[in-house]
């Protein structure tokens, strides 16, 4: 078939045609109650400094939020374990949102079920739903473990998961041995990162306790001199691969606690399975004997870290997302310290190559003013990366930044990091603010570049700032999550993404004199 025969206009070109433009004009008569002029004035006002002040004094409404809720994180944590079915106790729309959200980001199916609570459950409690749900889902999806998290609804009516699961066992719906981990994750506190933490801790402590194993940390005998690694709420499957590469270079044995990369980066074999990869269940109790634990998201994994250092009595190296050269250096030092192994020459060489790449690009990065949006640990990493490349973070928004680790709050750490560099002197860290605040910031104090999730695209477009998509969720670009952003390789990827966005800008907005071949 020739291409001409398939030439049907899509809505991008179609709706620019006169007949559609006319239709649009006609509709304006209904757009009550403002006139065109009033609308234009209001729009202009919304971009003013005066409005920014009002926007920042806004107390009681969130406009364009940048956080998801706890159970969404729990679902991701559950998918990090082998043949584990995430099970959301509440009304079913929550689960549908989580599945859509995660699938739209990773472009992969998300197996997760709901207890589909309805009005009668609201009155009498959700126990029957939970028990029926366990029976149905185990029959349908044949998981080897079920990981239950709650939603607002179950929390408000006060459902007791532990008792309900016990009753399910008494009723014979599940056997005494069948593993069911759980955690409480109401959405009205915390965010997706707290939910991730709650479920990871829930699964680790459950599997450890039921195994009857007594931890002998650093014993090595059973663990084979192993290291535990936790990546946390990790929207990049590529980051798992990068971590594996680094650990293989060190030639250390390790267990990744919570590895959802299999589920979100499985091959197309022609046959869909419900579960791919994940941490093996029997490895979890053994992990208590490891040399130590490396955490790559210290704010996200707060409770899990406390559990591991407390109950497992293990040494913990808690970092934030290791971005940039300095961030990766810290990572390698931490591995070296925990394992007693030297940093392999291969990685030192790679470091040199990436430093070289950063030098090549530095003239285009120096002094670029940047706005950042993201989760706390990612932001710490990004701030570090910006500062070491001479980019200047200006506006930083962290909606869920109300977290601390070892009594250091995210905001304090971010501010200290910024204060230690001359490139950080312009920056303000906003915690608990939303993307409508960011819009005001972008419009009133201009930047060259915005870095954040797809949700930032509306504010970035209003302010005509190019957006580099980093973090979660990325709905409108493909395959970003397959490329690591951590480690030296990740630093190179991030650098390419940023510097080429800047170079594209130069081409797009050239004055006619600087449309150059060589840059």
Partner 1 sequence: MDPVRHDEFDSQACGSIAPKVKACPRPKPGEAAGGCSFDGAQITLLPIMDAAHLVHGPVACAGNSWESRGTLSSGPSLSQYGFATDLTDSDIIFGGEKKLKDSIDYIAGRFAPPAIFVYSTCVTALTGEDLDSVCKEAAERLGLPVIPVNSPGFVGSKNLGNRLAGEALLQYVIGTGEPEPETVMGVNLIGEYNIAGEMWDIERLMGSAGIAVTSRITGDARYKEITWAHRAKVNMVVCSRALLGLAREMEGRYGIPFFEGSFYGAKETTYSLRQMAYLMNDREMERRVDRLTEREESRLSQELRPYRKLLKGKRAVLYTGGVKSWSVISALKELGVQVVGVGTNKSTQDDVRRIADRVGDDTEYIPEGGASRIIKTVRERKADIMIAGGRNMYVAMKEQIPFIDINQERHKAYAGYEGLLRLAKELAYSLGNPIWKLAASPAPWDKEAPPYDR
Q: Which residues between 4 and 23 bind partner 1 (CB under 8 A)?
A: 5-6, 8, 10-11, 14-15, 19-20, 23
For residues 380 and 413, is the Cβ–Cβ distance under 8 A?
yes
Q: Which of residues 374-393 bind partner 1 (CB under 8 A)?
A: none
Q: Which residues are catalytic?
A: 152, 156
Residue 374 CB, nearest approach to partner 1 (Å): 14
Task: List the one residue from 18, 268, 517, 518 that touches partner 1 (CB under 8 A).
Answer: 268
Judged by CB under 8 A, does residue 187 bind partner 1?
Answer: yes
Contact between 172 and partner 1 per CB under 8 A = no
Which stretch in 180-188, 226-234, 281-289, 385-393 sits in contact with partner 1 by CB under 8 A?
180-188
Is the CA virtual torsion 457, 459, 462, 467 positive or negative? negative
Residues in 103-132 that interact with partner 1 by CB under 8 A: 103-104, 107-119, 121-122, 129-130, 132
N-term to C-term CA, the chain: 42
What gap in Å lies between CA 96 and CA 46, rounded to an integer?
35
Kindly tell me which of 116 and 314 has the beta carbon lying closer to partner 1: 116
Does position 65 interact with partner 1 (CB under 8 A)? The reply is yes
Rounded to 5 degrees, what are φ and ψ at 398? -130, 100
Of the candidate spans 59-67, 302-310, 380-388, 420-428, the one that interacts with partner 1 by CB under 8 A turns out to be 59-67
Q: In the complex with partner 1, which residue's Cβ is closer, 62 or 357?
A: 62
Q: How far is the CB of 307 from partner 1 (least distance, A)?
A: 23
Q: How far is the CB of 368 from partner 1 (least distance, A)?
A: 28
Judge contact between 421 and 350, C-beta under 8 A.
no
- Contacting residue, 153, 246, 447, 468, with partner 1 by CB under 8 A: 153
Rounded Cα–Cα distance for residues 351 and 132 (Å): 54
Question: What residues between 206 and 245 interact with partner 1 by CB under 8 A?
Answer: none
Shortest spacing between CB 119 and partner 1, in angstroms: 6
H or E element in which residue 355 lies? helix 345-365
User: Least separation, in Å, of the C-beta of 337 and partner 1?
Assistant: 38
Q: Which of 3, 13, 18, 32 binds partner 1 (CB under 8 A)?
A: 32
Instruction: Answer yes or no: are the C-beta atoms of 181 and 207 closer than 8 Å.
Output: yes
Buried b (16+ CB within 10 A) or exposed e, 355-372: eebbeebeebbeebbbbb
The DSSP result for 451-507, as a single string, is: EE-GGGHHHHHHTT--EEE-SS---SSSSGGGS--SHHHHHHHHHHHHHHHHHHHHH
140 in contact with partner 1 (CB under 8 A): yes
**Based on CB atoms, which residue is closest to partner 1, 161 or 418?**
161
What is the number of alpha carbons within 13 Å of residue 60 lying toward its C-beta?
Answer: 0
- Closest alpha carbon to 235 in 454, 437, 388, 461: 454
Q: In this complex, which beta carbon is closest to partner 1, that of residue 152 or of residue 492?
A: 152
State which of positions 312-371 bind partner 1 (CB under 8 A): none
Q: Is residue 270 a contact point for partner 1 (CB under 8 A)? A: yes
The binder of partner 1 chosen from 35, 48, 100, 504 (CB under 8 A): 100
Contact pick of 93, 340, 352, 367 for partner 1 (by CB under 8 A): 93
Q: Does 482 bind partner 1 (CB under 8 A)?
A: no
167 binds partner 1 (CB under 8 A): no
Phi, then psi, of 467 in degrees rounded to 5: -115, 125
Strands (E) across 324-471 are located at 369-373, 392-398, 404-405, 408-409, 428-431, 449-452, 467-469
Provide, rounded to whole angstroms, the least separation between the CB of residue 436 and partner 1.
Answer: 8
């Amino acid at each position: 078939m020739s291409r001409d025969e398939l030439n049907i206009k899509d809505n991008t070109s179609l709706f620019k045609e006169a007949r559609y433009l006319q239709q649009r004009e006609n509709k304006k008569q209904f757009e009550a109650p403002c006139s065109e002029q009033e609308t234009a004035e209001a729009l202009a006002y919304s971009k003013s400094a005066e409005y920014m002040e009002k926007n920042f004094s806004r107390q009681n409404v969130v406009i364009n939020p940048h956080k998801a809720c706890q159970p969404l994180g729990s679902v991701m944590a559950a998918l990090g374990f082998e043949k584990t079915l995430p099970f959301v106790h509440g009304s079913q729309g929550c689960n549908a949102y989580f599945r859509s959200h995660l699938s739209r980001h990773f472009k992969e199916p998300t197996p997760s079920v709901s207890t589909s609570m309805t009005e009668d459950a609201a009155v009498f409690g959700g126990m029957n739903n939970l028990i029926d749900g366990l029976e149905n889902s185990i029959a349908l999806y044949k998981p080897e473990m079920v990981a239950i998290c709650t939603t607002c609804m179950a929390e408000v009516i006060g459902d007791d998961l532990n008792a309900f699961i016990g009753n399910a066992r008494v009723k014979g719906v599940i056997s005494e041995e069948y593993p069911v981990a759980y955690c409480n994750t109401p959405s009205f506190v915390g965010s997706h990162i707290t939910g991730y933490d709650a479920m990871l801790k829930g699964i680790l402590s459950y599997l450890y306790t039921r195994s009857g194993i007594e931890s002998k940390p650093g014993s090595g005998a059973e663990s084979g001199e192993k290291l535990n690694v936790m990546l946390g709420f990790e929207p990049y499957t590529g980051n798992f691969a990068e971590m594996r590469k680094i650990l293989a270079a060190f030639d250390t044995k390790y267990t990744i606690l919570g590895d959802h990369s299999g589920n979100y980066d499985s091959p197309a074999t022609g046959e869909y399975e419900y579960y791919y990869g994940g941490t093996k269940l029997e490895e979890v109790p053994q992990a208590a004997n490891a040399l130590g634990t490396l955490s790559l998201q210290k704010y996200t994994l707060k409770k899990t870290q406390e559990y591991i250092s407390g109950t497992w009595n293990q040494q913990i190296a808690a970092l934030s997302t290791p971005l940039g050269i300095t961030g990766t250096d810290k990572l390698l030092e931490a591995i070296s310290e925990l394992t007693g192994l030297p940093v392999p020459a291969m990685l030192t060489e790679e470091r040199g190559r990436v430093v070289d790449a950063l030098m090549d690009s530095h003239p285009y990065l120096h002094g670029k003013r940047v706005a950042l949006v993201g989760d706390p640990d990612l932001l710490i990493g990004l701030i570090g990366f910006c500062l070491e490349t001479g980019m200047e973070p200006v506006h930083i928004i962290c909606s869920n930044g109300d977290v601390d680790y070892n009594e250091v709050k995210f905001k304090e750490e971010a501010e200290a990091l910024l204060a230690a560099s001359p490139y950080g002197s312009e920056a303000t860290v906003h915690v608990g603010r939303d993307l409508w605040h960011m819009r005001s910031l972008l419009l009133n104090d201009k930047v060259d570049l915005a870095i954040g999730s797809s949700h930032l695209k509306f504010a970035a477009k209003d302010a005509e700032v190019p957006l580099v998509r980093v973090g979660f969720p990325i709905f409108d670009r493909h395959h970003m999550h397959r490329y690591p952003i951590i480690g030296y390789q990740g630093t190179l990827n991030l650098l390419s993404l940023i510097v080429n966005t800047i170079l594209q800008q130069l081409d797009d907005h050239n004055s006619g004199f600087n449309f150059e071949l060589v840059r």
